[in-house]
Amino acid sequence: MNVRNLISLKSSLFENKTVKQTIFKNTFWLATAEGITRLLKLILFIYVARILGATEYGKFTFALAFVSLFAVFSDFGLSWITTREFSQQREREKEFSSILSLKILLSIGTLILILYGSLFITSDPIIQKVIRILALYVVINNFSGIICAVLRARQKMQYESWGRMVQALVVTSVGFFVLFNFPSVENLSYAYLFASLIAFIFISLIFHFKIFCLTINWNKIIWKDFLGLSWPLAFITVFTLIYTYIDSVMMGYWGQITEIGWYNAAYKIVNVTLIPMALISVSFFPVLSKAFKESKERLQEVFDYQIKLMTILTVPIVIGGIFLAPKIINFVYGSNYSPSILVFQMLMFMAGFIFLSDPCYRILIVINQQKKVFYITLTGAIINIILNFILIPNYSLYGAAIATVITYLILFFLFVGYTKKIASLSPFNLCLLKTLLLSLPATLIMCFVISRPFIYNLNVLAIVPIGGAVYFFTFIILEKFLNPKSRIITIKKS
């Protein structure tokens, strides 16, 4: 690579020149950070589960789930609103010092809530101490988040990505040091706290020298203004967190600590399967926003393309995950986590519903229907709490998995229904049907191939890419055979 190409590459990845280039740059850095962060944390959690065992792992995930339920109150939707307001009106950046002071007050209140709540959620002194440590971790993390909100408004997401990668590297390296030398959930919690402090210092220094100086100002008028804008997003996040973490909190409250370990072991791997969905959503959101301003036809075209991509990925990931669940769980965690196999298979259905409902969720945000999202997520939170109260006492971690799947199934239908009713878009159309008619036989052929003993007996790290290659090769062949003039990618260039 010559000097000119190096300069061009550096310019493309570090500077904002054009709209398309800026979107590419931000997507590249966010995708890189997301991939590295999730991969490192998954590896760390695998060893935590193996070394500490299901019960100790359950204590840590229970404490983390509990503090995560309160995390939203230290941000209260301010990060999203800050990004939106500052990107639309650059002159409002002078109000950031007041937002920081509001952030301090919210963080103090959140800490008090967590510490007070920990006295009632468990009587185990070790879990209570872990909760206190992780409470500080969550608050510091959210301070980094409000700083990153300004970086997003400035379209400087490479700095945010660097901060996330630094935190992931620190927590992984310190976490492994703790696990191999001083293994305990308490010391692991300190590793998380230390990593959040390093990441906060790192991102603050970048912000201070690259953007503007950090100062604090106490302006109640600005507080009222931003809180008035942020509260709907805050409660949407609250409801989302409820049906993400409330099952673990309930199991912990009822003393099912080992079951939490088995449950979250499966959940962690399922979350990895959602990475493609997250990256596609990040890339499509600005395109959908632009299409909304152009025409309904253009919006339907882009929406169809996103649904098509999601379907192409959903079918093999869900069915393949269910088929390979025993090998995946045994490879990652060992035979001691065999109860996680059925949970993993159940939660793969949840992953499928998330894949297919995410485009509808994004569309409602694009067309300024946040209130509808608010009511949908509220419905999901209420249903999930009721189902967990009914199912967990009788079926433990399997009841929690059933409650989660039913909740996301209902959310899927609600998001699809509102998209059709309000956005006047058709999620279930001929485009989706054609994709399903190609994906299903391609997936069945994939499962047939990987079920052959000479492939199934291989390491799961070899089976997954083999299965993926078989699926996509079969999909392309079937598409060309059934519709020679079509292509997988049919979206027009904008």
Taking residue 119's Cβ as centre, other Cβ atoms within 10 Å add up to 10
Distance of CA 234 to the CA centre of its chain: 16
Higher pLDDT, 148 or 471: 471
Closest by CA to 260, choosing from 241, 246, 270, 272, is 246
Considering the domain architecture, whether residues 154 and 266 belong to the same structural domain is answered as no
List Cα–Cα distances, 341 to 73, 300, 338, 418, in angstroms: 34, 39, 6, 34
Residue 11 lies in a domain: no
302 assigned to some structural domain: yes
**Is 287 in the same domain as 194?**
no
Residue that finishes a domain, picked among 215, 235, 255: 255
**Do 139 and 28 share a domain, yes or no?**
yes
| Claim to verify: residue 322 and residue 434 sit in the same structural domain | yes
| CA distances for 451 relative to 180, 266, 463, 470, 474, angstroms | 37, 22, 10, 12, 16
Q: Is residue 191 a contact partner of residue 135, using CB atoms and an 8 Å limit?
A: no
Q: Which residue has the higher pLDDT, 55 or 329?
A: 329
Q: Span 408-419, mean pLDDT?
A: 91
Q: Tell me the pLDDT band of 22, cut-offs 50, 70 and 90.
A: low
Q: How many domains does the chain fold into?
A: 2
* Domain coverage including residue 492: 258-494
What pLDDT score was predicted for residue 490?
44
Least confident of 42-51, 95-104, 276-285: 276-285
Tell whether 243 is covered by a domain: yes
Tokens representing 170? 């620190």
Range with the lowest mean pLDDT among 253-257, 317-321, 446-450? 253-257
For residue 342, the model assigns a pLDDT of 95
- Give the dihedral of Cα atoms 312, 465, 171, 252; nearest 10 deg: 70
Backbone angles phi, psi at 89, to 5 degrees: -135, 95
65 and 127 part of one domain: yes
Structure tokens at 152: 């997003």
Say whether both 251 and 280 belong to one domain.
no
pLDDT mean over 3-21: 54
With bands split at pLDDT 50, 70 and 90, how would you rate the model's confidence at 36?
A: confident
Task: Pick 151 or 485 by higher pLDDT.
Answer: 151
DSSP-assigned letter for residue 95: G
Place of tokens 């206190």: 132
Check whether residue 387 and residue 267 sit in a common domain.
Answer: yes
For residue 332, what pLDDT band results from cuts at 50, 70 and 90?
Answer: confident
Q: Write the Ramachandran bin of 36: left for phi over 0, alpha for psi from -120 to 50, otherwise beta.
A: alpha
Q: What is the dihedral of CA 304, 310, 315, 318, to 10 degrees?
A: -150
Average pLDDT of span 85-97: 71
* Encoded tokens for 376: 């949908």
Nearest-angstrom CA–CA distance, 322 and 305: 26
Average pLDDT over every residue of 58-66 = 84
What is the Cα–Cα distance from 100 to 110, expressed in whole angstroms?
15
What is the separation of C-alpha 119 from the centre of its chain, rounded to a whole number of angstroms? 29
| Residue 2 falls inside a structural domain | no
* 487 — pLDDT class (breaks 50, 70, 90): very low
The pLDDT assigned to 489 comes to 42
- Judge if 135 and 274 occupy the same domain: no
Is 9 inside a domain boundary? Answer: no
In this structure, the answer to whether residues 320 and 466 fall within a common structural domain is: yes
Most confident of the ranges 198-207, 270-279, 405-414: 405-414
Q: What is the pLDDT of residue 78?
A: 76
Last residue of some domain: 229, 255, 281?
255
**pLDDT of the residue at 324:** 93
Domain edge (last residue) among 255, 272, 293: 255
- Report for 151-165, 199-213, 287-301, 327-341: range of highest mean pLDDT: 327-341
Q: Is 255 left (phi over 0), alpha (psi -120 to 50) or beta?
A: left
Average pLDDT, stretch 201-220? 78
Asked if residue 319 belongs to a domain, the reply is yes
Within a domain: residue 10?
no
Q: Calculate mean pLDDT across residues 254-279.
A: 85
Q: Are 76 and 146 in contact (CB under 8 A)?
A: no
Using an 8 Å Cβ cutoff, are 438 and 475 in contact? Answer: yes
Specify whether 229 is located in the same domain as 310.
no
Region for 290 from its dihedrals, namely left if φ exceeds 0, alpha if ψ lies in -120 to 50, beta otherwise? alpha
Residue 392 confidence (pLDDT): 92
Model confidence at 486: pLDDT above 60: no
**369 in any annotated domain:** yes
pLDDT band for 155, please (50, 70, 90 cuts).
low
397 touches 263 (CB < 8 A): yes
How confident is the model over 342-352, as pLDDT tens digits?
A: 999 999 999 99
pLDDT at 488: 44
Question: How far is C-alpha 378 from the geometric centre of its chain's CA atoms?
Answer: 19
State which amino acid sits at residue 234: A
pTM here?
A: 0.74
Rounded Cα gap, residues 229 and 239, in angstroms: 18
Q: Is 393 found in the same domain as 346?
A: yes
**Spatial contact of 317 and 328, defined as CB atoms under 8 Å apart:** no
**Same domain, yes or no, for 236 and 302?**
no
Q: What value does the mean pLDDT take over residues 16-41?
A: 68
∠ CA 14-22-79, rounded to 5°? 95
State how far the Cα of 156 lies from the Cα of 264, in Å rounded to an integer.
34
Choose between 294 and 19: higher pLDDT.
294
d(CA 455, CA 435): 27
pLDDT at 25 over 70: no
- Over residues 346-392, the pLDDT tens digits come to 999 999 999 888 888 888 877 777 778 888 888 988 999 999 999 99
Mean pLDDT (the chain, rounded): 81
Residue 435 is predicted with a pLDDT of: 84
* pLDDT at residue 448, as a whole number: 94
| Cα gap 268→48, rounded to integer Å | 12
